[in-house]
Amino acid sequence: MEIKRLSTVAERQHGLVAIYQADLLGMSRRTWYRLIEGGVLVPVHQGVAAFVGSPPTAERAVMAAVLAAGPRSVAGARSAAWLWDCFDPPAGTPVDVMLRGRPAARTLDGVVAHRPVDHLQLLAVEQRGIPVVPDILANAGGVLVSYFEWVQNLQHFRWSLEQVRREQESRMVESFNKVFDLARNKGVPMRTAAFMLAIKRVGRARILGGIGS
Q: Show the domains of the chain with their CATH numbers.
A: 2-114 (no CATH), 119-208 (3.40.50.720)
178 φ/ψ sector (left φ>0, alpha ψ -120 to 50, else beta) = alpha
Phi, psi (degrees; rounded to nearest 5) at 212? 80, 180
pLDDT in tens, 92-108: 888 988 887 655 556 77
Q: Is 161 helix (H, G, I), strand (E, B) or coil?
A: helix
Which residues are within 8 A (CB) of 42 and not within 5 positions of it... i.e. 6 or more apart? 36, 49, 50, 51, 52
pLDDT score at 90? 80
pTM of this structure: 0.62
Distance, CA of 6 to CA of 44 (rounded, Å): 16
Nearest to 114 by CA among 161, 70, 61, 57: 70
pLDDT score at 123? 78
Does 58 have pLDDT greater than 90?
no
Is pLDDT larger for residue 65 or for residue 211? Answer: 65
pLDDT in tens, 115-168: 777 777 777 877 887 878 888 888 888 899 999 999 999 989 899 989 999 999
Distance, CA of 93 to CA of 91 (rounded, Å): 6
Distance, CA of 204 to CA of 206 (rounded, Å): 5
Distance, CA of 6 to CA of 51 (rounded, Å): 10
Q: Is 113 helix (H, G, I), strand (E, B) or coil?
A: strand
